[in-house]
Structure 1
Amino acid sequence: MVRILVSHLMEKFGEYPSPDRKKELALALVTQFPCLRDSEGSGYGVWYTPGRYRHPATGFLEERLRNIRKRLHSHSSASAQRSQTTNERRATVTDRITLLPDTEVSEADNSKMTEWLKKSKQPVSQVEEFMRGTAIYRAQWIRENGSKSLMDITQEYPRLLDTPGMIAQDFGILYPHAKDKLFEIWGHASQRILSYCKTEKRALDLLPLQTNISSDTLGDVALKTLPAILPPLPYKIGSKMVRPSYQEAKEAFVDLQPVGTNIIQYLEEEEQRRQFPHVLQLGDKVNCSQAFVIVGGVALEQDSLLQAVDTCFKLFYVLDIEYPKPAAAVWQFLQHTIYSVPGGVPSTHCRLLRQFIIG
């Protein structure tokens, strides 16, 4: 459909149709086919969104036009490529919260609790209480000048990773509206995603052949299809453009390994290969035997794959770190569609899948 529409645009109005022409075509499309409407804003934004100050135009029509112009004028494509790259890079950046919730804990009490937490792991109830009391100060400290490494954070707050539930507790204090969203919404969302996958050739291979499997298992399968239906975004390292492969995107989100994998050896290899948080599943493409969140050379075991993805997402916000580039599109989708956490610009594919789910 996009090819036909853009071909019509270029035939009638040349290589650079005006914004009004593109907007008229996008509006006519969703008027004629209401099922293609975007639920946000004008209703046609996923097909064409005009450029604004410092934000270039986006949408399927604009992206197709841009790609055709590149091929037709490869010798003069540098400017257009810079514009596209800037927009895509902007889409991978997650804006962090600037206003933290108020706290009734004094600085003196915060210091006392922080020092106690450095030395004590027990009783767990006391750890949970003191971690809750220091959460706001901890978020402020982590965000100061943006230079805190994971080692800095774990040395100052060791209980954050070695006590189960502390990542979720911190996230719930910073984003109370989003703390349970994945568990509340995923049942419905996963069914819609699996329906969407039937139209995507790459995702078809991930769908189970059995029909009598549990809803939890189907939910896990839906999670693992996301890299197949949300193409990884290209990004730049210096002057070089990097385009992650599907395999890289898949492993950066959920790394699937066989049951019996040596976790200690895996962690040693991962420290050399990948420095960003990700999910590790032991099992096959349908069944999950064990699930972990891998961060800083540590494997945090979780009760399920869904919980592992939830914990990994919350890690990015609690530790104030960016999404890994190969899997950025997947985490953006979860951020905007499931958790409703503001910040950043979702890709066109993210918006289309979101519309399919909520429409």
Structure 2
Amino acid sequence: MKHGILEKLAEAIYKFDAYPNEERCHSVALALISKHPCLREPGSPDGCSGWKNSLTYKMGNYRTKLRKAGCAEVAINQGKKGAPGMASKGLKRPKRFEVNYLPDLPEGQNEDRLEVERKLLVEEMKKRNPSGTVIASKMDQTFPLRRREIVEAEPPVKTLKERWPALFTERQVFAEFNSIATTNLENDFFGAKLAEIVQQIDSRKPDVTAVRTLVLQGIPALLGDDPSNFYNTSFDSDSDEAWDQVSVGLLTVISEDVPLSPNHLHLDPVSTAIILEGGIVMDNLQNLPQALCLLFGLSYALHLDYPKAMKNTFSFIQRVMLGLGENKLPPKLQTLKNLLLS
């Protein structure tokens, strides 16, 4: 009976997390004895220590079984060593609650066939008026191939832009995020949490973009982040080469008639752009909040780490604004959430 229970639990856990840590296995064990008190272990301090240990090793065995069956999400780590329940630092695994981290190729498809579709997608993007329907269909079809390339090979952003130009459009950034995290990024980013924060700051009928910009530029300061190299401003006559040293950031381009100040909101910019690995990958965006929303989406789509200097801010967006993650927040994030939403 115990074997059957652990097998079913492993199947259910895997749908949420292929590499659960000890804390998550413990929470499952607690839920098990809470639902079925007859399974409580006599003599155990919390009644479930044995279940937790068994679950930890069961998940390791379950991954081995899936790896032998060719499951891409765990096969990518074949040969890498780590404790059965705790993946080692070098393992590639979901870290930000990605639901479709590394999906298998569709039945009846292979990499060669999907590569043909990718090339057709590139040709479609070269047209003066590319078909949104065709692009959406082929991007959806090639999603597993793209994830395999991005997660396994980790190519430079410049290479990805050449191979997957459609991925750097607003519509496809949002679609890709939805495919990975099964969450509507745009709706949730500008939804209840941000709206509530805006309401707390100004209960009148404010310029929504102005207050959103103020909030998003203020959050890093409250969390102890350093946005000095993240929020960038330039004149429209400046060269793009000025951003060669910026690994991740936003760029607000203003007219030379406007005073250049990093602390100014610049609500009527010439353009707003996203910088990745020293180059502009998306430009002519509506405003800074929209650009930050898209940049967050790209961090998932391109499997990028959060910028170190803005790690707390990006975690706040993920955990608080989008609700992606465990309910228990780190102290910094919980304190700011209480401050802004109380």
Using structure 2 for the length normalisation, give the TM-score: 0.58
1:269 to 242, 246, 269: 242
CA distance in 2, matches of 1:229, 1:219: 15
2:215 to 215, 219, 222: 222
Counterpart for residue 66 of structure 2: none
- Partner amino acid for 1:270? W
- Partner amino acid for 1:268? E
Higher helix share goes to which structure?
1
Contact 2:231 2:250 in 1 (8 A): yes
Q: Which runs of 5+ in 2 are unaligned?
A: 1-92, 255-260
1:279 to 233, 250, 261: 250
Equivalent residue of 2:190, what SS? helix
- Partner amino acid for 1:175? A
| Correspondence 1:60-139 to 2 at 5 A | 95-96=95-96, 97=98, 99-100=100-101, 104=106, 106-107=109-110, 109-121=113-125, 122=127, 123-125=130-132, 126-139=134-147
CA distance in 2, matches of 1:316, 1:353: 23
The CA deviation at 1:319 is 0.6
1:298 counterpart = 2:280: yes
- By relative contact order (CA 8 Å, sep 6+), the higher-ranking structure is 1
Contact 2:250 2:274 in 1 (8 A): yes
- Partner amino acid for 2:249? H
Equivalent residue of 1:278, what SS? strand
Equivalent residue of 2:273, what SS? strand
The CA deviation at 1:171 is 0.9
Please give the per-residue CA displacement for 1:119-177, whole angstroms capped at 9, x wherever unaligned. Answer: 33132322232122222321222111x5322233223323322x442222211211222
- Partner amino acid for 2:315? Q
Counterpart for residue 170 of structure 1: 176
Distance 1:110-1:270 versus aligned 2 partners, 3 A rule: same
2:319 to 311, 336, 341: 336
Counterpart for residue 307 of structure 2: 324
The CA deviation at 1:322 is 0.7
- Partner amino acid for 1:153? L
Using structure 1 for the length normalisation, give the TM-score: 0.55
Contact 2:114 2:145 in 1 (8 A): yes
CA distance in 2, matches of 1:102, 1:175: 16
Distance 1:103-1:341 versus aligned 2 partners, 3 A rule: farther
CA distance in 1, matches of 2:122, 2:163: 7
CA distance in 2, matches of 1:152, 1:346: 36
Distance 1:268-1:347 versus aligned 2 partners, 3 A rule: farther
CA distance in 1, matches of 2:131, 2:217: 34
The sequence identity of aligned pairs, in percent, is 17
Contact 1:252 1:324 in 2 (8 A): no
CA distance in 1, matches of 2:323, 2:104: 21
Give me the CA root mean square deviation: 3.3
- Partner amino acid for 2:267? C
| Correspondence 1:16-27 to 2 at 5 A | none
Equivalent residue of 2:183, what SS? helix
Distance 1:286-1:298 versus aligned 2 partners, 3 A rule: closer
CA distance in 2, matches of 1:102, 1:338: 30
CA distance in 2, matches of 1:212, 1:118: 44
Q: Which runs of 5+ in 1 are unaligned?
A: 1-92, 196-210, 233-248
- Partner amino acid for 2:275? I
CA distance in 2, matches of 1:313, 1:220: 15
Contact 1:190 1:223 in 2 (8 A): no
CA distance in 1, matches of 2:198, 2:105: 37
Distance 1:169-1:262 versus aligned 2 partners, 3 A rule: farther
1:187 counterpart = 2:215: no
CA distance in 2, matches of 1:282, 1:213: 24
CA distance in 2, matches of 1:158, 1:282: 23
The CA deviation at 1:110 is 2.2
